[in-house]
């Protein structure tokens, strides 16, 4: 992965008035300074085009409050099935999957032809062999890191599994907007990963009253 960059000049932290919900964190991730400028100027069409692909990002927080982690882990244990990545129309769907360490993924071949999913990534090295149409395989991810997915039979197929050491993470929508659960007062680092843009890191504080609003620019 590309080296992390700590953002200062290109990020903005605004503490909203005390009437806002205590400990709430929300923000927007921008593809570029041009995208941020288009948003500021209310140029909707240009902004939408400039933000294409921003929703492939993964946003996580350090440290993750222990009480919140316990709640998220409990919810994950009650999930009926593991998350899935489909091989459909010669693509990995979703293209980016985010998990916590120890989770598993169901790989399904929904195409009418064979696929061969594999990864040589340090965090998880595996090869599912030739998967006939309709076949399902399970891969368990024990170590944090970014796992690049490939198909031996179709080199253009590329996907990613991002395995994090905690369950407190979120994804931006197509506009780059994101939010996190309410957090206790304290000092945190927001980390962002994107398959094309690399990594960002931003330190910020959650106030005792009010909320934190973050704007981050690649």
Task: Enumerate the β-bridge partners of residue 213.
Answer: 14, 26
pLDDT at 77: 81
State how far Cα 182 lies from the chain centre. Answer: 19
Q: What is the pLDDT of residue 98?
A: 97
pLDDT category of residue 63 using cuts at 50, 70 and 90:
very high
One domain for residues 99 and 130: yes
Say yes or no: 90 and 156 in one domain. yes
The pair of structure tokens assigned to 77 is 């244990």
Statement to judge: residues 20 and 93 lie in one domain: no
Contact indicator for 51, 35 with CB cutoff of 8 Å:
yes
Q: Give me the CATH number covering residue 160.
A: 2.60.40.420
pLDDT band for position 2 (cuts 50, 70, 90): very low
- Tell me whether residue 90 is in a domain: yes
23 and 57, same domain (yes or no): yes
Same domain, 143 and 184: no
Statement to judge: residues 142 and 92 lie in one domain = yes
Residues 55 and 92 in one domain: no
Question: Could you tell me if residue 29 is inside a domain?
Answer: yes
Name, in order, each residue with C-beta under 8 angstroms of 51's C-beta and a sequence gap of 6 or more: 30, 31, 35, 174, 175, 176
Closest CA to 4 of 196, 192, 213: 192
Q: What confidence tens digit (pLDDT) does each residue in 194-209 have?
A: 999 999 999 999 988 7
**Are 17 and 90 within one domain?**
no
Q: What is the mean pLDDT of residues 152-174?
A: 97
Long-range contacts formed by 153-158: CB under 8 A, 24+ apart: 153/114, 153/115, 153/116, 154/90, 154/115, 156/90, 157/87, 157/90, 157/91, 157/92, 157/115, 158/92, 158/95
- Residue 45: domain span: 12-65+169-217
- On whether both 155 and 186 belong to a single domain, the answer is no
Q: Which letter does DSSP use for residue 132 in this model?
A: P
The domain tally of the chain equals 2
The pLDDT of residue 80 is above 80? no
pLDDT value of position 21: 41
Q: Is residue 2 part of a domain?
A: no
Alpha carbon distance 143, 146 (integer Å): 10
**Shared domain check, 148 and 89:** yes
CATH number (domain holding residue 16): 2.60.40.1120
121 and 75, same structural domain?
yes
Picking from 95, 105, 88, the residue whose alpha carbon sits closest to that of residue 163 is: 105
Please tell me whether residues 110 and 174 are part of one structural domain: no
What is the structure's pLDDT at 123? Answer: 95
């Amino acid at each position: 992965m590309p080296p992390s960059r700590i953002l200062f000049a290109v990020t903005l932290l605004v503490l909203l008035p005390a009437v806002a919900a205590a400990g709430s964190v929300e923000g927007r991730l921008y593809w570029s300074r041009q995208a941020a400028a288009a948003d500021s100027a209310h140029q909707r069409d240009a902004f939408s085009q400039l933000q294409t692909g921003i929703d492939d990002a993964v946003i996580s927080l350090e440290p993750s409050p222990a009480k919140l982690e316990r709640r998220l882990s409990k919810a994950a244990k009650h999930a009926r099935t593991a998350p899935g990545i489909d091989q459909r129309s010669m693509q990995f769907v979703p293209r980016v999957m985010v998990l916590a360490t120890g989770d598993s993924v169901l790989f399904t071949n929904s195409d009418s032809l064979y696929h061969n999913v594999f990864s040589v990534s340090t965090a998880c090295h595996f090869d599912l062999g030739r998967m006939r149409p309709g076949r399902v395989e399970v891969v368990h991810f024990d170590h944090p890191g970014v796992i690049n997915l490939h198909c031996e039979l179709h080199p253009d197929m590329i996907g990613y599994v991002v395995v994090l050491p905690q369950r407190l993470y979120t994804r931006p929508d197509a506009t780059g907007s994101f939010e996190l659960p309410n957090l206790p007062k304290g000092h945190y680092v927001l980390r962002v990963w994107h398959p094309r843009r690399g990594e960002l890191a931003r330190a910020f504080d959650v106030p005792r009253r009010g909320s934190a609003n973050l704007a981050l620019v690649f």
